[in-house]
Structure 1
Amino acid sequence: MKTLAMRLVFPVLILVLASCSPVQRFHGYAPDDAQLAQIEVSRDTRDTVAEKIGRPGMMGVMEGSAWYYVQSDWVHEGWRAPVEVRREVVAISFDGAGRVANVERFGQEQGEVVALSRRVTSTGPTGATLLRQLLSNFGQFNPAQMLGG
């Protein structure tokens, strides 16, 4: 009788403990530094970038402005709301001839946008306000606001 109870309790206990362990989920895609090292500023075009690291999930608002690769890592722990633990954005901008002008990687540290790496041919990044908005608003969607409630 005692061994039968142990046989039933032990698997239930294992299931309960396993359901409490955190689950990590990854959303989006941002190429790593090794992949970005393949891209040559002032030489590569949109087509060669697409061949080397793939097309992005987001593109700049204006035709020919930039490509944005966004990746967020979330941790889900049981019944609690998911927590974003890491966010990276890779911005590849192009010049008027369609060649790579800038390759930049941005992260978020303590709620602030931080440039993690940058290979720039011009005086500075363009479209930083769009990128800043993208990083600050990503993951803060509230469906109740869309429904007017």
Structure 2
Amino acid sequence: MGKTTQGPWMRRVIMALALGAALSACAPQFANHGYIPPAEDLDLLTVGVDTRASVEEAIGTPSTAGVVNESGFYYVRSRKRTFGALAPKTVEREVLAISFDSAGVVTNIERFGLERGRVVPISRRVTTSGVSNNGFLKQLLGNIGRFNPAGLAG
């Protein structure tokens, strides 16, 4: 028996499979981190009426709380895209900031996003003008993704 034509055909199949695998490896991968309560749950909160306890009961425990005088709750969500061997890139970041007065009553409910590297307000339900912890919000948005758990171990 002589040579069969199966050799070149088999090489083509293997090359096609290798090319398909290489192309599928270059498809973007997305990863979501954090939690922002849905708008329907936020609509249940009333500025000037709800307290820390009622906020936690209605929308859950925050991912971060204010570090100065327990000033507020911060819910943070981000989405990263990884493409092939490139470093992951944050494509979306959002922070929900709920501020409280000294009695623990809600004074502000604000949502912030990141657009072109700048913090932008998405929505506000505010009793006073401006955000009292703007510096903290900018720092929080700028440092997401730079957290290293190994640093906590010492």
Class of the TM-score when normalised by the shorter of the 2 chains: 0.7 to 0.9
Q: Which runs of 4+ in 1 moved over 4 A?
A: none
Residue 82 of structure 1 corresponds to which residue in structure 2? 88
SS of residue matched to 1:87: strand
Give the Cα–Cα distance (whole angstroms) in 2 for the partners of residues 47 and 141 of structure 1.
Answer: 28
Residue 103 of structure 2 corresponds to residue 107 of structure 1: no
Superposed displacement of residue 141, structure 1: 6.0
In structure 1, the partner of 2:126 is: 120
Structure 1 runs not aligned, ≥5 long: none
Q: How far, CA to CA, are the matches of 2:130 and 2:102 in structure 1?
A: 16
Describe the SS at the equivalent of 2:132.
Answer: coil
Which residue in 2 is equivalent to 1:28? 34
TM-score, reference length from structure 2: 0.81
Query: 2:53 maps to what in 1?
Result: 47
Scaled by the length of structure 1, the TM-score of the pair is 0.84
> Secondary structure of the residue that 1:75 maps to in structure 2?
strand
The answer to whether the Cα contact below 8 Å between 1:64 and 1:96 also exists between their aligned partners in 2 is: no
Of 54-63 and 30-39, more deviation after overlay is shown by 30-39
Q: Give the Cα–Cα distance (whole angstroms) in 2 for the partners of residues 141 and 66 of structure 1.
A: 21
Shift of 1:61: 0.5
| Amino acid paired to 2:58 | K
Deviations 1:24-76 (A, max 9, x none): 11111122333321211112122221122111111101343101111111100
| Equivalent position to 2:79, from 67, 73, 81 | 73
Matched, 1:137 2:137: no
1:70-127 per-residue CA deviation (whole Å, 9 max, x = no partner) reads 1111100010011111111110011122121110001111111111111011243211
Deviation larger for 101-110 or 55-64: 55-64
| Matched length | 144
SS of alignment partner, residue 54 of structure 2: helix
Q: Which has the larger radius of gyration?
A: 2
Q: Give secondary structure in 2 for the equivalent of 1:25.
A: strand
Percent identity over paired residues: 44
CA root-mean-square deviation: 2.2
